[in-house]
Amino acid sequence: MIETYSRTLPHGITLSCRAAGNPARPVLLFLHGFPEGAFVWDYMLEHFSRPENGGYRCVAPNLRGFEHSSAPADVKAYRPKHLVQDIAALIAIEAQHQGGQLACLVAHDWGGAVAWNLANQLPHLAKRLAIINSPHPGTFVRELKSNPEQQASSAYMNFLIRPDAEALLAQDDYRRLFEFLTNTFGDHPAAWLTDAVKAQYREVWNQGLTGGCNLYRASPLRPPRPEDPAAAAVDLPHDMLTVSLPTMVVWAMDDIALPPVLIKGLDEYIANLTIHTVPGATHWIVHEKPELVAQFLQHFLL
């Protein structure tokens, strides 16, 4: 049974959450991406909260700017350091019975951007890290700087920072966003995108799209343009990129926005790394192959 509630954090941000399982049990925290919401993790919440699958406390917050979470107006409020602060504060509350430490932090897409940063800066907050199709900042900057194919694949980011992006995304019953979930990230028919799932997405998007777009506006990690150096001007010190936690990366190989080249060289940053590649799956692998993702995570948690 999935419950919904809101957590107001000490620094004043409120995150709406979905959760399942006994609050006293070890905690798995799941972070969504764009244009998603916490509901995309419902299968995982129900699966891992069952006693036969570990009986975990499973929590999926909506990131700031999404669904009913706080949505600050200032674009600077969506910089990674603020998102990390949100999740660190939430972990302190949700994992209070576990010494303030997660059993695992699981993340996809933009949630992964938060998770990579948190694992680097605050590794004591989790025992393990699981990443699903979310580029490590080191490999992402490398490819955005030097790879024309990656620059072309990530061109949508420069659309999402336009001042009229929200209005364009909302047109025609969110036509562009539904295309985002089908055409943009792979050529496979999106059988998972049922009317019921579309209704869940609309419910999130109806609360506003500015928070999601502000994630892109606040980050320089996007393709450079003549008027905007973006990633070309970014140099990240190696010590800001390393991850000491045991880390599992699941990579759908048919993600056309985030191609497999992004997992090359990950061992330069992560000492304890497991990579699972999945042919025939797209960026939306959490929807497409939830049983497989759960299987990978189940083995990783042993």
- Write out pLDDT tens, residues 56-65: 999 999 999 9
| Three-point CA angle 218, 130, 12, nearest 5° | 45
Is the pTM here over 0.85, yes or no? Answer: yes
pLDDT 10s digits, 217-229: 999 999 999 999 9
Class of domain 3-301 as given by CATH: alpha beta
Distance CA(4)–CA(74), nearest Å, equals: 27
Dump pLDDT digits (tens) for 123-133. Answer: 999 999 999 99
Task: Encode 212-232: b = buried (16+ Cβ within 10 Å), e = exposed.
Answer: bbbbbbbbebbbbeeeeebbb
Tokens of 94: 């949700």
Cα separation, 30 vs 44, in Å, equals 9
pLDDT band for 188, please (50, 70, 90 cuts): low
Q: What is the mean pLDDT of residues 108-125?
A: 98
Q: Quick one: the chain helix, strand, coil %, rounded to 5?
A: 45, 15, 40
CB atoms within 10 A of CB 280: 12
Q: What is the pLDDT of residue 190?
A: 82
Q: What is the pLDDT of residue 177?
A: 95
Going 63 to 67 to 69 to 70, the CA torsion angle's sign is positive
Tens of pLDDT along 10-49? 999 999 999 999 999 999 999 999 999 999 999 999 999 9
The mean pLDDT value of the chain amounts to 96
Closest alpha carbon to 18 in 74, 57, 76, 51 = 57
The pLDDT value recorded for residue 186 is 52
Tell me the pLDDT band of 184, cut-offs 50, 70 and 90.
Answer: low
Instruction: State residue 121's pLDDT score.
Output: 98
Q: What is the mean pLDDT of residues 258-275?
A: 97
Q: Specify the pLDDT at position 187.
A: 56
**CA dist., res. 217 & res. 214, Å (int):** 5
Q: Which residues contact 85 (CB under 8 A, 6 or more apart)?
A: 11
Between 189 and 92, the more confident residue is 92
Residue 29, strand partner residues: 59, 105
Each domain of the chain, given as residue ranges in start order, spans 3-301
pLDDT of residue 182: 86
Query: pLDDT by residue (tens digit) across 92-106?
Result: 999 999 999 999 999
Give me the amino acid identity at 199: A
**Which residue spans within the chain are E strands per DSSP?**
3-8, 14-20, 27-31, 57-61, 104-108, 129-132, 247-252, 273-278
Who wins on pLDDT, 182 or 277? 277
The answer on pLDDT for 189 being more than 90 is no
φ and ψ at residue 94, rounded to 5 degrees: -70, -30
* Average pLDDT of the segment spanning 163-169: 98
